[in-house]
């Protein structure tokens, strides 16, 4: 068994180069949602591949109809098992002075062991951590091969990831995949993700006339599309409790068991921390059990915006002729996005037959991680080895588009090993990542590769 000290010494040997590479890749503004940054996406792919090659690995940059995917393999012996690690190297947009950024977002800054810049935590820091886990594992003769899957379209919903998977199938020898793009619940408590919600977005619009009307002349007899849109929303969900009233929804998913809710309760989730971190004045529920059940294990029907009518200063006595609502639904394991969308559509059209419903592109299926296998135990042991604390089980209310296609196409179990902390400002201003997460993460990976190279 490899001891912690041996790995720590190796990390010290590599630290200077690691930080140099981390800085280099973080300073490339690989913003996938902005076409102007396409050249940075390509530069990021090239640079990332060069890191794997420098470690003696083979790489391929797979072209898709969208952004490429970097695939790499560090092989120690073809007869050893292979673990693939998924990270993404594209980032959210960021601009100094905007959305709360106080520094140049693409200038790498270190302060007391904390690294600041867009992409430090989501998800370039965790990618570099996995890479150095594999490099050190190779130096220590560990009996596992490691592959890397580095996507460059995660932040825009992975629209072309399937293109990559269709090409990589047969090339990748992965026996399982670790996804490293999730966040701990609290700074001192590692957590392991059990499931992720899926989602889809749609618009409901209603037009009842050719122009806005005088509310004195026509009001009372004229239909009001804004009010009807509000009625549709109320017909679909109870705004006080969030309960979805769409027919067939309650039967469409597996309700969280008492055992799952117990795990949620013991996850370290703190109501006060949650309220403070998200600046919430009040919530629909007060207790950990109900809150975690509703953000992790239940579907939602969310209203993002309503467009229509007069919103300028003062009053304007019109009956609007048209209104639109932007809606999304988050889905939990058991729910198929297409089926649920059809249920919602039917429910709305029965209530308001002339409403127009339009699905937005990008449906994501919910995902349930494989649990109860020897591999789960090994991940747990490795995280405890890296961070000195056993991980707790939690779930993610969000979605990572690549996960379901990866598990379906490559036909291997998918596990999670998140390294980011809640204060790291995922998608937010002054994004950060800590050295202790990199160091702990490398130790956890090396231990994991070691354990996976041994018969269970």
The nearer residue to Zn ion, 121 or 172, going by C-beta atoms, is: 121
CB of 129 to Zn ion, least distance (A): 14
Pairing of strands 198-207, 114-116: unpaired
- Contact predicate 437/445, CB 8 Å: no
Rounded least distance, CB 182 to Zn ion, Å: 8
CB of 424 to Zn ion, least distance (A): 11
- For Zn ion, give the closer residue by CB, 248 or 398: 398
Cβ partners under 8 Å of residue 279, min gap 6: none
Residue closer to Zn ion, measured from CB, 204 or 406? 406
Min dist CB 77 to Zn ion, Å, is 32
CA-CA distance, 139 to 281, in Å (whole number)? 51
Least CB distance to Zn ion at residue 201 (A): 19
Contacts of 251 (CB under 8 A, 6+ apart): none
Q: Which is nearer to Zn ion, 181 or 450 (CB)?
A: 181
CB closer to Zn ion out of 179 and 213: 179
What residues between 39 and 58 interact with Zn ion by CB under 5 A? none
For Zn ion, the binding residues in 311-330 under the rule CB under 5 A are none
For residues 161 and 69, give the distance between their C-alpha atoms in angstroms, rounded to a whole number. Answer: 8
Measured from the CB atom, the residue of 231 and 398 that comes closer to Zn ion is: 398
CB of 240 to Zn ion, least distance (A): 33
User: Under rule CB under 5 A, how many of the chain's residues touch Zn ion?
Assistant: 3
Q: How many angstroms separate the CA atoms of 144 and 138, rounded?
A: 8
Nearer to Zn ion, 181 or 431 (CB): 181
Work out how close the CB of 61 gets to Zn ion at its nearest, in angstroms, rounded to a whole number: 20
Of 359, 368, 226, 242, nearest to 295 (Cα)? 242
Span interacting with Zn ion, options 52-60, 71-79, 175-183, 322-330, rule CB under 5 A? 175-183
Nearest to 120, CA basis, from 439, 387, 426, 451: 426
Measured from the CB atom, the residue of 88 and 378 that comes closer to Zn ion is: 88
Q: Which lies closer to Zn ion via its Cβ, residue 181 or residue 375?
A: 181
Shortest spacing between CB 119 and Zn ion, in angstroms: 9
Which stretch, 161-169, 179-187, 349-357, 411-419, contacts Zn ion (CB under 5 A)?
179-187
Contact segment (CB under 5 A) with Zn ion among 173-181, 199-207, 217-225, 279-287 equals 173-181
Query: Least Å distance between CB 91 and Zn ion?
Result: 8
User: Which stretch in 168-176, 177-185, 219-227, 376-384 sits in contact with Zn ion by CB under 5 A?
Assistant: 177-185
Shortest spacing between CB 64 and Zn ion, in angstroms:
18
Of the two residues 322 and 437, which places its CB atom closer to Zn ion in the complex? Answer: 437
Tokens 């996995």 found at: 130
- CB nearer to Zn ion: give 293 or 402: 402
Minimum distance between the CB of residue 253 and Zn ion, rounded to whole angstroms?
25
C-alpha span between 297 and 253 (Å, rounded) = 9
For the bound state, the minimum distance from the C-beta of residue 93 to Zn ion, rounded and expressed in Å, comes to 14
How many residues would you count in the chain?
A: 456
Which parts of 96-135 interact with Zn ion (CB under 5 A)? 122-123
Distance separating alpha carbons of residues 49 and 451, to the nearest angstrom = 27
- The residues in 353-412 that bind Zn ion, with binding defined as CB under 5 A, are none
Binds Zn ion by CB under 5 A, chosen from 40, 90, 153, 181: 181
Kindly tell me which of 125 and 337 has the beta carbon lying closer to Zn ion: 125
HSE at residue 170, side-chain half, CA atoms within 13 A, is 3
Binding region for Zn ion (CB under 5 A)? 122-123, 181
């Amino acid at each position: 068994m490899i001891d912690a000290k041996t790995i720590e010494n190796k990390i010290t040997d590599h630290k200077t180069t690691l930080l140099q590479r981390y800085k280099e890749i973080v300073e490339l503004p690989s913003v996938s949602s902005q076409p102007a940054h396409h050249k940075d996406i390509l530069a990021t792919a090239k640079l990332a591949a060069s890191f794997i090659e420098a470690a003696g690995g083979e790489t391929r940059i797979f072209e898709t109809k969208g952004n490429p995917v970097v695939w790499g393999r560090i092989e120690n012996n073809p007869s050893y098992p292979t673990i693939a690690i998924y990270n993404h190297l594209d980032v959210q947009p960021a601009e100094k002075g905007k959305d709360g950024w106080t520094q140049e977002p693409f200038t790498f800054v270190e302060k007391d062991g904390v690294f600041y810049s867009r992409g430090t935590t989501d998800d370039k820091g965790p990618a570099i951590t996995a890479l150095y886990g594999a490099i050190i594992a190779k130096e220590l003769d560990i009996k596992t091969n490691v592959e890397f899957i580095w996507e460059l379209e995660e932040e825009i919903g992975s629209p072309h990831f399937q293109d990559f998977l269709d090409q990589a199938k047969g090339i990748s020898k992965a026996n399982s995949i670790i996804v490293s793009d999730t966040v701990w619940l609290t700074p001192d408590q590692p957590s392991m993700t059990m499931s992720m919600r899926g989602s889809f977005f749609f618009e409901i619009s209603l037009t009842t006339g050719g122009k806005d009307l005088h509310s004195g002349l026509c009001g009372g007899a004229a239909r009001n599309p804004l009010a009807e849109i509000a009625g549709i929303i109320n017909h679909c969900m109870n705004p006080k409790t969030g309960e979805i009233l769409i027919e067939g929804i309650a039967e469409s998913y597996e309700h969280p068991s008492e055992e799952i809710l117990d795990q949620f309760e013991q996850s370290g989730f703190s109501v006060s921390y949650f309220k403070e971190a998200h600046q919430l004045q009040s919530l629909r529920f007060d207790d950990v059990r109900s809150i975690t059940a509703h953000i992790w294990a239940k579907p939602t029907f969310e209203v993002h915006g309503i467009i229509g009518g007069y919103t300028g200063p003062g009053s304007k006595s019109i009956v609007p002729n048209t209104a639109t609502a932007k809606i999304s639904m988050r889905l939990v394991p058991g729910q198929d996005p297409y089926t649920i969308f059809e249920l919602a559509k039917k429910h709305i059209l029965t209530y308001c037959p002339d409403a127009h419903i339009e699905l937005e592109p990008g449906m994501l299926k919910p995902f349930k991680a494989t649990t109860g296998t020897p591999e789960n135990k090994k991940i747990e042991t490795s995280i405890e080895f890296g961070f000195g604390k056993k991980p707790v089980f939690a779930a993610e209310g969000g979605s990572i588009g690549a996960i379901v296609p990866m598990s379906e196409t490559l036909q291997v179990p998918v596990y999670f090993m998140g390294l980011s902390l809640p204060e790291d400002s995922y998608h937010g201003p002054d994004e950060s990542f800590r050295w202790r997460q990199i160091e702990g993460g490398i130790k956890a990976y090396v231990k994991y590769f070691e354990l996976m190279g041994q018969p269970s």
